[in-house]
């Protein structure tokens, strides 16, 4: 199938054609779509002869390290370039871009490629934002396909296919969530045909937890608390403190998988996962099944995200944060 002309996408392609040096980056607390889309774009840009840096001031979660082995990740202070384009991928909010302010400010052009509903296109000069897309990997895929059609060449190789398949899988809950569209399956088909290593990716993403992760999960599930909304639907919350992570030697970026347990309970409409990043700083993940737009709740706390998956931060103790967010979630029913 031929790619479509999409004005925003074609401005990104023009910017890629017109420039030689690129910084690819994404949001704090990297996930599969973050690393997959950034490194998929990284490989594509290198293939067409561009100089590319992967800049990210955060740790890559252990289940995603396999994707980033062949690409050197640098931190903002290590970037030594004067004239570059910054590509911010999968980032709906300027505050969450995981580089220093200098790296953002010194870019000659800033480009945002993203699928968050809460992204108001206010922090980059060029924007390709489609909140209907399953993942940012799907937008990167559209760009690479479109560029290939324009040049009558196929740029997707096994490496790009595997990187993009990873983000497609994680952001669709491996093709379960409502964000999974017919186009997601079409993309998966093409990536598999191009050699995406699905079995390896699935094992790395979903079948490589450490025994200590399960011990922490046990403690986390013991904090489960359930509240009933006025319409009889349920709200579930789970908390993980720094002490719990320390006890089991599990890192802050390695526990995002726990979020789904809050939502996967019968009759639960909204799941809340609270994790303590630092004393007094609580990162909150919100998930919903059918009716509640959790991005609207997250935005009340300067966060954002998607209708069914969003996040924010509350600066308080974990106990207070749980009370505050639960009360706000119950008000949304």
328 binds ligand 5GP (CB under 6 A): no
Span from 41-49, 56-64, 73-81, 300-308 in contact with ligand 5GP (CB under 6 A):
300-308
Dihedral sign for Cα atoms in the order 191, 192, 197, 201:
positive
Q: How far is the CB of 305 from ligand 5GP (least distance, A)?
A: 3
Dihedral sign for Cα atoms in the order 114, 3, 307, 172:
negative
- Short-list 95, 69, 94, 88, CA closest to 22: 88
Shorter beta-carbon distance to ligand 5GP: residue 156 or 318: 318
Q: Report how far residue 39's alpha carbon sits from residue 28's, in angstroms, rounded to the nearest whole number.
A: 15
92 binds, among Mn ion, ligand 5GP, none (CB under 5 to 8 A by kind): ligand 5GP
Q: Which residues bind Mn ion (CB under 5 A)?
A: 33, 90, 136, 171
- Short-list 37, 72, 251, 272, CA closest to 160: 37
Shorter beta-carbon distance to ligand 5GP: residue 173 or 195: 173
Shorter beta-carbon distance to Mn ion: residue 137 or 268: 137
Shorter beta-carbon distance to Mn ion: residue 130 or 269: 130
Q: Report how far residue 285's alpha carbon sits from residue 297's, in angstroms, rounded to the nearest whole number.
A: 11
CA atoms within 13 A on the CB side of 327: 7
322 binds, among Mn ion, ligand 5GP, none (CB under 5 to 8 A by kind): none
Owner of token pair 């970037």: 79
- Burial label for 230, CB within 10 Å (0-12, 13-18, 19+), is exposed
Shorter beta-carbon distance to ligand 5GP: residue 146 or 259: 259
256 binds ligand 5GP (CB under 6 A): yes
Query: Using CB under 6 A as the criterion, which residues of the chain lie in contact with ligand 5GP when the complex forms?
Result: 27, 92-93, 96, 116, 118, 256, 259, 285, 303-306, 309-313
């Amino acid at each position: 199938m031929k790619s479509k002309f999409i004005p925003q996408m074609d401005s990104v392609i023009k910017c890629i054609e017109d420039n030689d040096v690129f910084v690819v980056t994404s949001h704090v607390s990297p996930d599969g779509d973050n690393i997959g889309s950034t490194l998929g774009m990284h490989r594509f840009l290198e293939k067409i002869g561009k100089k590319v840096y992967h800049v990210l001031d955060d740790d890559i979660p252990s289940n995603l390290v396999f994707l980033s082995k062949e690409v050197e990740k640098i931190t903002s202070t290590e970037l030594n370039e004067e004239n570059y384009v910054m590509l911010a991928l999968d980032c709906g909010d300027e505050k969450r871009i995981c580089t220093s302010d200098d790296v953002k400010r010194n870019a000659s052009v800033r480009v945002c490629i993203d699928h968050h509903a809460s992204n108001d296109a206010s922090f980059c000069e060029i924007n390709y934002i489609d909140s209907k897309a399953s993942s940012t990997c799907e937008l990167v895929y559209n760009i690479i396909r479109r560029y290939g059609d324009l040049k009558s060449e196929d740029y997707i190789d096994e490496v790009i296919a595997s990187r993009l398949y990873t983000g497609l899988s994680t952001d669709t809950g491996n093709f379960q969530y409502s964000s999974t569209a017919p186009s997601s399956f079409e993309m998966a088909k093409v990536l598999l045909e191009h050699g995406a290593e699905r079995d390896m990716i699935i094992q790395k993403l979903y079948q490589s937890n450490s025994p200590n992760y399960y011990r922490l999960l046990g403690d986390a599930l013991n904090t489960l608390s359930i509240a009933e909304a006025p319409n009889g639907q349920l709200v579930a919350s789970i908390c993980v403190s720094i002490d719990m992570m320390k006890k089991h030697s599990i890192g802050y970026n390695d526990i995002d998988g726990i979020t789904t347990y809050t939502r996967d309970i019968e009759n639960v409409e909204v799941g809340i996962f609270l994790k303590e990043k630092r004393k007094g700083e609580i990162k909150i993940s919100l998930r919903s099944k059918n009716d509640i737009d959790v991005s609207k709740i997250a935005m009340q706390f300067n966060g954002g995200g998607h209708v069914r998956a969003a996040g924010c931060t509350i600066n308080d103790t974990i106990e207070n944060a749980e009370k505050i967010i639960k009360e706000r979630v119950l008000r949304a029913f």
